[in-house]
Structure 1
Amino acid sequence: MARVAGICYIKVDGEQLEVQGGVECPISDVMRETVMGVAGPAGFKETAQRPYVKVSAVLVPNFPRDKVSKGTDMTITAEFPNGSVYTLSGAYLEGEPVAKADDGLTELEFSGRKGQWQ
């Protein structure tokens, strides 16, 4: 039986973050949508999918706040328990993440130029 879930590892420009819970990355670089005709589905259209990495990070005392918040050309590496690795290049932090004192976490969403599965 193969391991398909469990501990994930996230690195920001080579520096490992402490994470909790899941990591999310898109499986495909395109999104497909059905195009309907009067007789039913006529085919589909494709649009580009935004490459991203979403993660809940633990705010440990040495959390790389400056690197994460100011970086505009980072490399984010997500190592999944099943051995798959997703690399996001040209990455930057998207949105308005906050530090939460009640659970010591921050929700991070990185977007970038290119995401690649290995």
Structure 2
Amino acid sequence: MSQITGKCIIRLNGSELKSTDDATLNVGGVNREAVVGGGKVYGYKEETVAPTLECSVAHDKNTDLVALSATTDATIIFESDTGDKYVLRGAFMTEPASLQTTNGTASLNWSALSCERM
């Protein structure tokens, strides 16, 4: 029986983030949408989708949310507990970090120029 992903480690420019296990990685590529008319499906059209990574990090006095929010042109390594790894190149924050005091985490939303399986 094979192991199913349940945890992850996220590294930003070589430094491990204090990431929680509820991250979502979208490797990017294309979305396809059906083209219809006259009661028929003619085919599909494609739209390019950028890779994204949504994650939360445990927040403490050493977590610099301003610096994280200003990050551009970063390299992010996403590694699951199954050993599967992805690298996001040219990564940038898409919005400022958001701190949630009720659970002590900050939400980070990234996009990137590319995502490759290692």
Q: TM-score, normalised by structure 2?
A: 0.86
Mean Cα displacement is larger for which, 94-103 or 7-16?
Answer: 94-103
**1:61-76 paired onto structure 2 within 5 Å:** 61-65=61-65, 67-76=67-76
- Are the aligned partners of 1:18 and 1:60 in contact in 2 as well (CA < 8 Å)? no
Structure 2, unaligned stretches of length 5 or more?
none
Letter matched to residue 101 of structure 1:
T
Structure 1 residues 66 and 95: alpha-carbon distance in aligned structure 2, compared to 1, 3 A threshold: closer
Percent same amino acid among aligned pairs? 26
Question: Is the 1:25–1:86 Cα contact (8 Å) retained in structure 2?
Answer: no
1:57 matched to 2:95? The reply is no
* Corresponding letter in the other structure for 1:42: Y
TM-score (norm 1): 0.86
RMSD: 1.8
Count the aligned residue pairs: 118
Structure 2 distance, partners of 1:7, 1:23, is: 9
Aligned pairs (5 A) from 1:1-118: 1-65=1-65, 67-118=67-118
